Chain A
Amino acid sequence: MTLGKRDLAPHNELSRKSQCLLSSRQSMADRLLKYIIPMLTLFSLVAYSMPYLRIDIGTKSVELSALMIVIANIRVSVEYLLVFPVLFRAIIIISPLLMISACIVSFFLKKHIIASILSISALMCQIIASLYSSEIAKSLVANGIGRPEVSMKYGWFVFIFLTVVLSLSVLAQEGLEKAAEQVFQFTALVSVGIVVIMTVYMFAYGTPAIAEIGLIDFLLGKEWRPTAGEPEFGILYMILATIFGCVGAIAIGVPVGLFTAVFLAEVAPKKLGDVIRPAVDLLAGIPSVIYGFIGMKILVPVIRELSIRFGINTTGSGLAAVIIVLAVMILPTIIRVTETTLRSVPRSYTEAALALGNTKISTIFSIQIPAARSGILAGVILGVGRAIGETMAVIMVAGNIVKFPTLFSSVRPMTAGIAFEMGYAEAGLHRQSLFGIGLVLFVFIMIVNVSFSYISKKGGFTGEN
């Protein structure tokens, strides 16, 4: 590694002098930078009159600037008058106000970090405004106006660009080190942002259908006929299929996974362990569509043959096949987590048990597994999450008929329902109801996730359990 001259801290007279020179040059750059900020803010006011939003209704189209959205109701044609929601207008006004205040804070008060927070919130306002545009399209549909398309025009992109440049140049005044830290922090926050936006979106898209159908009718309704003359949207049997499939998979997958993990952690000869461990990793890496394909080609015919031999008439695809495929798919998750936790049980525990005259196997099952139970539980919860959310493998073996799930009947879990119908669902209540199913699934998964992070925070190995 080589270090540049500028990285070395000044420690003598000469370098102090050169630093003085350097800083005077920097202050010039700083001054330039300073004036960029008010200029950007001015530009944002100009961008206010650029085309910002475009609405196409049939053959007519209107292009609106941000200014027009704020001050006027727009008459598209003789019969249509666009009235924008107050919140939408407020967001569009607030954004440049935030930019101006960022400018003032940075220019006069020299609080650059606060200024950058202000300019980033201006950016957020623009993003929220873009989220709103789809709401506008939806409300237009609800009013029976054709198939409108609402899209952001370059005025919006100019706003986004300006706010990003503003945030960066405000940050740059803090010096490279600080600016880098801020950029790193911002990127680290992206995942938080995505989760937040995702949650907002799932609710924004999922709730309209649920509200229209009614929560009780949606969750507990037994009929799912989205394309019938009098459509019915009840997803009870889909929820049941998901739950039954998940429970069955856990019932089969957890014991097998647990025993395999015990094998890997305690019993296996080293060489065999070194073969099986990568095998488990590979099993986790195999795409779900291949699991589904194999289930379709092997499992389904086998189940059909067997059930015909026992006098049950089925096609073979159904809950039984789903359970087996899911059980195989959650194996690697459970094995990995359980093995790690088993290994983290302190040696002194097992040694004490062995010294008291226990056999190795009984030590494992009466000492190590109980000691590791919260870790194992975390693994099981992860497995539940995977089983609930699995789509491709399930859709290929489930049979896809919505009815009460019994072991050999065709079923349609929630995930399969979404994936299966998304392809042909018309815009409107049918498609919205699929997002409603997505929301239910999302809530399920969030519950699983939160309980996982609660348990794994409590667990690991702390010795108190």
Chain B
Amino acid sequence: MRIKKKDAALLVLIWSSAILTLTILVGIIGYVLLNGLPHMSLSFLTSTYSAVKGGSKGVLPMIINTLYIVLISLLLAVPLCLCGAIYMTQYARQGRLVHAIRFATEVLSGIPSIIFGLFGYAVFVVLFQFKLSILSGSLTMMICILPIIMRTTEESLLSVPSMYKEAGLALGAGKLRVTMGVVLPNALPGILTGIILAMGRIVGETAALLFTVGVSGNFLPKGDNFIDATFGHIFEQGNTLALHLYNSAMNGKDPVAVPFATAAVLIILIFILNRLADLVYRRLNRFGDR
């Protein structure tokens, strides 16, 4: 069999594109880790941050704030998406309403995060008077991750064989009972994957948080009583890891090691979440056909 010249050229292009893609990824991760890991010590991860020159440059507050935002926005978004996806897959009949919902979800997933940031600023910071705070940031992030969780949840609910549902209905259970007791537990792995993906999005998000959470590096809650000490923090400003990377890289006030080490922490977090999502999906998904 002879290989035509044109074919050979195309084959070379195909291979080199694939290798280029792989090289870019390896290059990015390698570069960040090589430059960042040497500066990433235990004290970097567990000490506070002060903007003063020569002060402590740890990222503990940023890690805590990031976790806060992840937690709150997931708490808000997951129930909403679960109920929405249940409606779309179990109850809805094809029609205008379903089209509108699907279109809206699609539109939301296409809107860039800077627009979410502007919207969050206008609604949560200015209108609701939450000021620059972790709460405003979390609410903004909730809107950002809605389409992600909604889509994955819908997919995994659809992947549950209708046999299961029919068996439940045949036993005399109501639709609600079947949905909650049979369909939902069986769709859990897919839902979990969606949640992990959303976590990755929140951890890496910057533009939507730029003018909704502010940049303060403090993390000690104010107030003595239990409620203020536990929840009071969400009305304070907070810096996340990704925001910290942006600020320290752009300002140039911090030593150059700070952004590199922060970037390394971020990359490692994203890598772990990414692998975890894959693992959960493969391990737990029984009906998987992706």
The interface of chain A, by Cβ under 8 A from chain B, is: 1, 3, 7-9, 130-131, 133-134, 149, 151, 176-177, 180-181, 183-185, 187-192, 194-195, 197-198, 201-202, 205, 255-260, 262-264, 267-268, 275-276, 278-283, 285-294, 296-298, 328, 331, 335, 359, 361-362, 365, 382, 385-386, 388-392, 396, 415, 418-419, 422-423, 434-435, 438, 441-442, 445-446, 448-449, 452-453
Contacts A415-B114, A419-B207 known; 6 new A-B pairs at CB < 8 A: A7-B177, A180-B176, A190-B80, A279-B25, A382-B110, A422-B210
- B51 part of interface (Cβ distance < 8 Å): no
Q: Tell me the complex Cα distance, A201–B204, Å.
A: 26
- Contact across chains for B101 and A191 when beta carbons are under 8 A apart: yes
Q: Tell me the complex Cα distance, A180–B207, Å.
A: 37
- Contact across chains for A449 and B106 when beta carbons are under 8 A apart: yes
Q: What are 17 inter-chain pairs, A to B, with CB distance below 8 A?
A: A181-B87, A187-B87, A188-B92, A188-B101, A191-B150, A195-B107, A195-B108, A198-B115, A259-B17, A267-B14, A282-B25, A288-B206, A289-B266, A331-B21, A362-B4, A415-B112, A438-B114
- Contact across chains for B104 and A194 when beta carbons are under 8 A apart: yes
- Contact across chains for A392 and B246 when beta carbons are under 8 A apart: yes
Q: Tell me the complex Cα distance, A297–B245, Å.
A: 13
Contact of A202 among B3, B118, B126, B173 (CB under 8 A): B118
| A183 partner residues in chain B, CB cutoff 8 A | 83
Q: Which residue of B lies closest to A435 (CB)?
A: B118
Q: Which residue of B22, B101, B104 has the most chain A CB atoms within 10 A of its CB atom?
A: B104
Contact of B270 among A180, A257, A285, A331 (CB under 8 A): A285
Contact of A256 among B21, B88, B150 (CB under 8 A): B21
Q: Which residue of A lies closest to B242 (CB)?
A: A289
Interface residues of B in 50-106 (CB under 8 A from A): 79-80, 83-88, 90-92, 97, 100-101, 103-106
Given the known interface contacts A191-B104, A263-B14, A293-B245, the answer about A1 and B182 at a Cβ–Cβ threshold of 8 Å is yes
Q: Tell me the complex Cα distance, A440–B175, Å.
A: 46
A77 to chain B, nearest CB (A): 23
| A422 partner residues in chain B, CB cutoff 8 A | 117-118, 121, 210-211
Given the known interface contacts A9-B172, A188-B84, the answer about A286 and B28 at a Cβ–Cβ threshold of 8 Å is yes
B279 to chain A, nearest CB (A): 11
- Contact across chains for B15 and A267 when beta carbons are under 8 A apart: yes
Q: Tell me the complex Cα distance, A335–B14, Å.
A: 12
A116 to chain B, nearest CB (A): 15
A113 to chain B, nearest CB (A): 14
Q: Tell me the complex Cα distance, A320–B113, Å.
A: 23
A151 to chain B, nearest CB (A): 5
- B250 part of interface (Cβ distance < 8 Å): yes
| B122 partner residues in chain A, CB cutoff 8 A | 134, 201, 205, 435
Question: B191-219 toward A: CB 8 Å interface, digit per residue (1/0)?
Answer: 00000010010011111001100000000
Contact of B114 among A149, A365, A418 (CB under 8 A): A418
Q: Tell me the complex Cα distance, A9–B168, Å.
A: 13
Contact of A282 among B31, B129, B150, B274 (CB under 8 A): B274
Q: Tell me the complex Cα distance, A131–B118, Å.
A: 15
Q: Which residue of B lies closest to A133 (CB)?
A: B127
- B229 part of interface (Cβ distance < 8 Å): no
Query: Looking at chain A's contact residues, is the secondary structure mostly helix, strand, loop, or mixed?
Result: helix
Given the known interface contacts A331-B21, A422-B211, the answer about A289 and B206 at a Cβ–Cβ threshold of 8 Å is yes
- B18 part of interface (Cβ distance < 8 Å): yes
Q: Tell me the complex Cα distance, A325–B207, Å.
A: 16
- Contact across chains for A151 and B129 when beta carbons are under 8 A apart: yes
Question: B1-39 toward A: CB 8 Å interface, digit per residue (1/0)?
Answer: 001101100110111111011101100100110000000
- B271 part of interface (Cβ distance < 8 Å): yes
B152 to chain A, nearest CB (A): 13
Q: Tell me the complex Cα distance, A438–B273, Å.
A: 32
| A268 partner residues in chain B, CB cutoff 8 A | 18
- Contact across chains for A263 and B25 when beta carbons are under 8 A apart: no
- B190 part of interface (Cβ distance < 8 Å): no
| A391 partner residues in chain B, CB cutoff 8 A | 112-114, 206-207
Contact of B87 among A184, A255, A453 (CB under 8 A): A184
| B119 partner residues in chain A, CB cutoff 8 A | 198, 201-202
Interface residues of B in 229-281 (CB under 8 A from A): 242, 245-246, 249-250, 259, 263, 266-267, 270-271, 273-274, 278
B203 to chain A, nearest CB (A): 7
- Contact across chains for B14 and A259 when beta carbons are under 8 A apart: yes
- Contact across chains for B204 and A289 when beta carbons are under 8 A apart: yes
- B146 part of interface (Cβ distance < 8 Å): yes
- B171 part of interface (Cβ distance < 8 Å): yes
- Contact across chains for B206 and A392 when beta carbons are under 8 A apart: yes
- Contact across chains for A259 and B107 when beta carbons are under 8 A apart: no
- B188 part of interface (Cβ distance < 8 Å): no
| B181 partner residues in chain A, CB cutoff 8 A | 1
Q: Which residue of A133, A189, A268 has the most chain B CB atoms within 10 A of its CB atom?
A: A189
| A388 partner residues in chain B, CB cutoff 8 A | 112
Given the known interface contacts A283-B24, A438-B115, the answer about A263 and B15 at a Cβ–Cβ threshold of 8 Å is yes
| A445 partner residues in chain B, CB cutoff 8 A | 110-112, 115
| A190 partner residues in chain B, CB cutoff 8 A | 80, 84, 146
Q: Tell me the complex Cα distance, A189–B168, Å.
A: 28
- The 8 A-B pairs with the shortest beta carbon distances in the complex, nearest first, are A389-B112, A287-B204, A259-B17, A184-B87, A187-B83, A188-B84, A391-B207, A263-B18
Q: Which residue of A lies closest to B20 (CB)?
A: A256
| A281 partner residues in chain B, CB cutoff 8 A | 274, 278
Given the known interface contacts A191-B147, A446-B107, the answer about A279 and B118 at a Cβ–Cβ threshold of 8 Å is no
Q: Tell me the complex Cα distance, A247–B231, Å.
A: 47
| A396 partner residues in chain B, CB cutoff 8 A | 246, 249-250
- Contact across chains for B242 and A287 when beta carbons are under 8 A apart: yes
Contact of A362 among B7, B85, B103 (CB under 8 A): B7
| A279 partner residues in chain B, CB cutoff 8 A | 21-22, 25
- B123 part of interface (Cβ distance < 8 Å): yes
- Contact across chains for B14 and A262 when beta carbons are under 8 A apart: yes
B21 to chain A, nearest CB (A): 5
Q: Which residue of B lies closest to A291 (CB)?
A: B28
Q: Tell me the complex Cα distance, A151–B128, Å.
A: 7
- Contact across chains for B10 and A361 when beta carbons are under 8 A apart: yes
B129 to chain A, nearest CB (A): 5
Q: Which residue of A177, A183, A184 has the most chain B CB atoms within 10 A of its CB atom?
A: A184
| B263 partner residues in chain A, CB cutoff 8 A | 290, 293
Contact of B278 among A8, A205, A278 (CB under 8 A): A278
| A283 partner residues in chain B, CB cutoff 8 A | 21, 24-25
Given the known interface contacts A134-B127, A188-B92, A263-B17, the answer about A194 and B207 at a Cβ–Cβ threshold of 8 Å is no
